Amino acid sequence: MIEENQAPTVRVFIALAPPDSAKEELARALGPAYTTYPDMRWNRIEDWHITLAFLGELPTAAVPVLRAPLAGLAAAGRALRLDLRGGGHFDERVLWSGIGGDLEGLHLLASQVRELVGEAGIPFEGRPLRPHLTLARARRGDIAGVLATAEGLADFTGHPWPAARLHLCGSNIGRGPGAIRYRDIDSWPFDGAH
């Protein structure tokens, strides 16, 4: 129960999003797994993203503080050339697709984002960056689909694409399949030299 004097909060993260064409290419590669393992909790394709910094639950009043620094970073930055590549799993329960391309630039961008967040006075979980897209989660005790699908993605390499925008995102947690929904709070194009 939320107390009346408790400030409203939102779960926040900063990310890059593959273009629809890259996500559709990966979805086609996953096609057989969708039908073979329908009981896995598949993330919605429109929610696929590469998290640069997960900030967790923040008071909604703290979010505007991030807009100007992130807009400035994007304005000075360049679009990274990335691709979706391979697959794997975390703890045999979380299926992911890997990221290829300009990984050095991706790590540098994540460091810059995290530095800006710290300078804005917002604490966050500073786990090392492991570039990936989370695709699905296994239900308890049912890891076969995750393991088989990860193995099936081992040789997948999608076409390269430019990560054209920096996204400040929020998530809402509900119940049932596809219970987590992501939304852009704001986003900015990378306008620097390409």
pLDDT by residue (tens digit) across 127-172? 889 999 999 999 877 789 999 999 999 999 999 999 999 999 998 6
CATH 3.40.50.720, applies to 9-189 = no
Res 27 pLDDT > 70: yes
pTM greater than 0.75: yes
Domain extents in the chain: 9-189
Respond yes or no: is residue 107 known to be catalytic.
no
| Catalytic pick among 49, 89, 167, 194 | 49
Catalytic residue among 132, 159, 167, 194: 132
Residues 110-119 have a mean pLDDT of: 95
Strand partners, 25: none
| Span 2-26, average pLDDT | 84
Annotated active-site residue 132? The verdict is: yes
